[in-house]
Amino acid sequence: MSAKTIGIIGGGQLGRMLAMAAARLNFRTVILEPQTDCPAAQVANEQIAGAYDDPAALAELARRCDVVTYEFENVPVSAAEALASQIPVYPPPKALEMAQDRLTEKRFINSCGIPTARFHAVDSQADLEKALADFGEQGVLKTRRLGYDGKGQRVYRSAADSAEGGYATLGNVPLILESFVSFEREISIIAARGVDGAVACYDPAENIHRNGILHTSTLPASISEETANAAREAAGKILTALGYVGVIGIEFFALADGSLIANEMAPRVHNSGHWTEAACVISQFEQHIRAVAGLPLGKPERHSDCVMTNLIGDDIKALPEWLRRDDTLVHLYGKTEARPGRKMGHVTQLLR
C-alpha cells in the first residue's frame, strides 16, 4: 500500500482523532486551519495555517494531498467545490450543501422518504406568528445556518412565550420553526459508505444532552431492534441519495410508539460516535479514513456495552478519578484552557 496524504479541513478534536487513525494506516495528514497549535495539528504531519476559504491555502492543500476531507460541516461549499475540481473531496460537497441549512436539510431528508418534524421557513415576525399559529403556539425556532450545540435556538411552549420575543431575538437572520416533538429519547446513528457503495452502520447510541451539548452516549440504546433497523435503513437511504463517501452522523427523536423522526445530519465523524474507539474493533475515525482513502470498510460490530461521557469545561477536573478506572478509555484533545462549554476530552466506560 503506497502512503497517501489526506487533507483535513478543520483543526479541532475530530480532525485530531482522524489524523491519529490515519497515521496508524500509514497515511500522512495535512490540516487546513487558521489557528496554529490546534488539537489536530498537534498530531498531524503538517498544517497549512490559513482560512477555510482562502484560495491560496486551498490550492496548497490540493497540491500537497491526494484526497481531502473535513471535520466540520461549515466548510464553505464553494471552497469544497473548487477543491473537488482538482482532487477527490469526500464526503461530496453536496452533503455539505444539504447539511448547512436546516431548511434544505429537512427538505432533503423528507425527499429520501424519512420523516422530520413539520417546519416552516421564518423570515419575518409575520412568518413566525403564522407558523406558531399553525403549530398551536408551540415549536422550536432555530437559525437556518451555523447553529450548533443548541445555540441559535428558542423554544415556544405556549402563547405566553410568543408574547415575550419573536423573530428579532435570534438576530434577524433566516430561521426555521419546527413543530415541537414530544420524544421519548434521542438516538443517533453513525454510518459509513465506501467508494464502492458498501454501507456499514454502527449500533444506534442513546444520547443525553445538557445545556444543548452532548453529555453521554449509551450503548445499547433502549430501543427495539425494529427501531434500530429503521435508523439503519434511513442512514442507508441518505448515504445512497448523496453518493456519499465517508462517515455520517444522523440524529433522531424516538417516539413512544417506536417510530423515528430525523432531527439533523452531520457529514462527518460525530461526537455521539466516540464510543466506537473503545467498544468496536474499527472506530468511526478509522472507518472514515478507510472510506475516503478507498480502502474496504471495517465491520461496525460492537463487542461491549458502554457509555461515553464528554468532559466539558471543568469536568476535566475529574480526570484523576477517570484515570484510576480500569474499565475506561480516556481521550484528551490537547486544549490547555478549560473554558465553560469547551469540549476538553471524553471518556468511554465499558460496561461488562
For residue 33, state whether it binds ligand AMP (rule: CB under 6 A).
no
* CA separation for the pair 91, 289 (Å, rounded): 11
Q: Is 254 helix (H, G, I), strand (E, B) or coil?
A: strand
- Taking the CA atoms of residue 326, residue 331, residue 336 and residue 339 in that order, the dihedral angle to the nearest 10 degrees is -100
**What letters, b where the CB count within 10 A reaches 16 and e where it falls short, cover 2-16?**
eebbbbbbbbbbbbb
In the complex, the smallest distance separating the C-beta of residue 275 from ligand AMP, rounded to whole angstroms, is 18
- Taking the CA atoms of residue 95, residue 98, residue 99 and residue 105 in that order, the dihedral angle to the nearest 10 degrees is -140
For residue 131, state whether it binds ligand AMP (rule: CB under 6 A).
no
In the complex, the smallest distance separating the C-beta of residue 180 from ligand AMP, rounded to whole angstroms, is 5
Place of cell 471552497: 79
Shorter beta-carbon distance to ligand AMP: residue 162 or 263: 263
Shorter beta-carbon distance to ligand AMP: residue 170 or 289: 170
φ and ψ at residue 123, rounded to 5 degrees: -120, 10
Shorter beta-carbon distance to ligand AMP: residue 66 or 264: 264
User: Which listed residue (57, 89, 99, 117) binds ligand AMP by CB under 6 A?
Assistant: 117
Amino acid at 312: I
* Strand pairing report for 46-48 and 260-266: unpaired
The answer on whether 263 is annotated among ligand-binding residues is: yes
DSSP state at residue 202: P
The answer on whether 35 is annotated among ligand-binding residues is: no
Q: Please, are residues 253 and 181 in contact by the beta-carbon 8 Å criterion?
A: yes
The answer on whether 142 is annotated among ligand-binding residues is: yes
For residue 162, state whether it binds ligand AMP (rule: CB under 6 A).
no
Shorter beta-carbon distance to ligand AMP: residue 157 or 303: 157
Candidate ranges 63-71, 105-113, 180-188, 277-285; the one touching ligand AMP (CB under 6 A): 180-188
The answer on whether 182 is annotated among ligand-binding residues is: no
φ and ψ at residue 87, rounded to 5 degrees: -145, 165
Amino acid at 162: S
Candidate ranges 7-15, 90-98, 176-184, 238-246; the one touching ligand AMP (CB under 6 A): 176-184
The answer on whether 206 is annotated among ligand-binding residues is: no
* Strand pairing report for 185-193 and 205-210: antiparallel
Stretch 220-259 residues interacting with ligand AMP (CB under 6 A):
251
The answer on whether 186 is annotated among ligand-binding residues is: yes
Candidate ranges 105-113, 174-182, 215-223, 300-308; the one touching ligand AMP (CB under 6 A): 174-182
Binding residues for ATP: 102, 142, 147-153, 178-181, 186, 209, 263-264
Binding site for ligand AMP (CB under 6 A): 117, 140, 147, 150, 178, 180-181, 186, 209, 212, 251, 263-264
